[in-house]
Amino acid sequence: MALAACCLLGCASTGQTTSNNVAKAEAIPIASQLTYDMSDKAAVQFLNQHGLTMDKPPGGDPVGSSLAFGLADGGTLVLDFRSSPVGRDEKWMIGGLAAASICNWNNEVVTKIRLKDAR
């Protein structure tokens, strides 16, 4: 349930400001090479190497955070990361990759992307 809310939060908070030269059909097989629980830095680096750059800084809440990558044909690739508490002062840190999806112009999830298992 929290993952679904995180995914919806990710799509709802991604106002597309720039666009990459990668379309949805190309982004899906690229993103499906990402590994469940990988770090945000590793995921961004991998996507950068495949022609995708982040549209805006991470957004989120204590449940999780999201990274958005605008696509050439109008959608957005959204990566959702779990967050975890750090220390006693209730600060939160971005955790591992939990989900990836493609959202349409109306911020609705149109495709859920299967991630690789972290083995």
Average pLDDT estimate for 59-87? 82
Average pLDDT estimate for 54-63? 66
Q: Which residue has the tokens 């190497």?
A: 49
pLDDT score recorded for residue 63: 65
Q: Which residues contact 7 (CB under 8 A, 6 or more apart)?
A: 78, 80, 99, 101, 109, 112
Q: What is the DSSP secondary-structure string of 12-39? A: HT-------S--HHHHHHHHTTSBTT--
pLDDT score recorded for residue 74: 87
- pLDDT bracket for residue 1 (50, 70, 90): very low
- pLDDT bracket for residue 81 (50, 70, 90): very high
Cβ(55)–Cβ(17) below 8 Å: yes
pLDDT score recorded for residue 105: 79
Structure tokens at 43: 């995921």
